[in-house]
A = this chain, B = another copy of it.
Amino acid sequence: MREKITIVKVGGKIVEDEESLQHLLTDFSAIAGNKILVHGGGRSATKLAEKLGIESKMVNGRRITDAETLKVVTMVYAGLVNKNIVAKLQAKYVNALGLTGADMNIILSDKRPVKDIDYGFVGDVRFVNAEALIEILKQNVVPVMSSITHDGAGNLLNTNADTIAGEVAKSLSYDYDVTLIYCFEKKGVLKDENDDNSVIPKIDKELFKQYVEEGIINGGMIPKLENAFQALESGVRTVIITEASEICSGKGTYIIK
């Protein structure tokens, strides 16, 4: 029987609030067996950029990453947020190891080619070094991955944290039964964005297509669900979108093939 692994992706809103982060890390530490935490950094990077007089530009939920912004996100995501999470997990007896894609060459990415938009120093994942991750996991070490990758030529690149979670999940699905949990400030994917209890319990591709056409699913949820479907098609066993406080309960929206 294959071992299980749980990959939890948390967004910026959770990690930058001390109380919600502590809750999340307590729940995460209670997950049995192999696990990985993937985090963004969100607004704390925007706030630091503002203080430094660097303008934050967003297009379709993606940050435009010029050279100065790359420095800011590296400092905030790979430094401040990542290492604070690692220290807090260590205090909960979780043997955490903070990683970017450059560390142990875990995630190699390609600078996104300029078409209509120049995203700057943004990396699209080329390769996840599952072998290195498995070596880490075998030592009962828990990877904590920030959304910074590298191009193998000495340059760091900013990569969407949802994408990283999805790509890591896919790469490990050959060796593990993978459960991928996207945490979120709502209880799941909502049918009515004004009704927190309108959680859609299950979505398959057909229903997703219908809901996008009807405008029920929109914005940043579209790439999140696209990542989820891609992950399922690549062998990930279970994908769940849920509230950060529910990562242990099994509640939320299940994405199914």
A residues touching B (Cβ–Cβ < 8 Å)?
48, 51-52, 71, 74-80, 82-84, 86-88, 90-91, 95-98, 100, 102-105, 135, 139, 141, 148, 150, 152-156
With both beta carbons as reference points, the residue of chain B lying nearest to A92 in the complex is identified as B154
- Counting from the closest, the 7 A-B pairs by CB-CB distance are A79-B79, A75-B75, A91-B154, A87-B102, A75-B79, A87-B150, A88-B154
A104 touches B95 (CB 8 A): yes
Which of B52, B98, B102, B152 is the one whose CB lies under 8 Å from A52?
B52
**Residue numbers in B under 8 Å from A79 (CB-CB):** 74-80, 82-83
The complex is assembled from copies of this chain, and their number is 2
List residues of chain B with CB within 8 A of the CB of A77: 79
Contact: A141 with B86, CB < 8 Å? Answer: no
Q: Besides the contacts A96-B104, A98-B100, what 7 more A-B pairs have beta carbons closer than 8 Å?
A: A52-B52, A74-B80, A74-B84, A87-B154, A95-B104, A95-B105, A98-B102
Contact B105 A90 (CB under 8 A): yes
Question: Residue on B with the closest CB to A22?
Answer: B154
Which residue, A51, A80, A91, A95, has most C-beta atoms of chain B within 10 A? A80
11 contacts between A and B (CB under 8 A): A51-B52, A74-B80, A74-B83, A75-B79, A75-B80, A78-B82, A83-B148, A86-B103, A88-B154, A91-B154, A96-B103
Q: How far is the CB of A243 from chain B (nearest CB, A)?
A: 23
Which residue of chain B lies nearest to A76 when distances are taken between CB atoms in the complex? B75
Tell me, in angstroms, the Cα distance from A88 to B152 when the chains sit together.
8
Most B CB contacts (10 A, CB to CB) among A71, A141, A153, A154 go to A154
Q: Which residues on B sit within 8 Å (CB–CB) of A95?
A: 104-105
Contact present for B150 and A139 (CB under 8 Å): no
Question: Contact check: which of B96, B139, B156 meets A87 at CB < 8 Å?
Answer: B156
B76, B84, B97: the one contacting A156 at CB < 8 Å is B84
For the complex, give the distance between the alpha carbons of A78 and B104 in Å.
Answer: 16
Chain B min CB distance to A99 (Å): 8
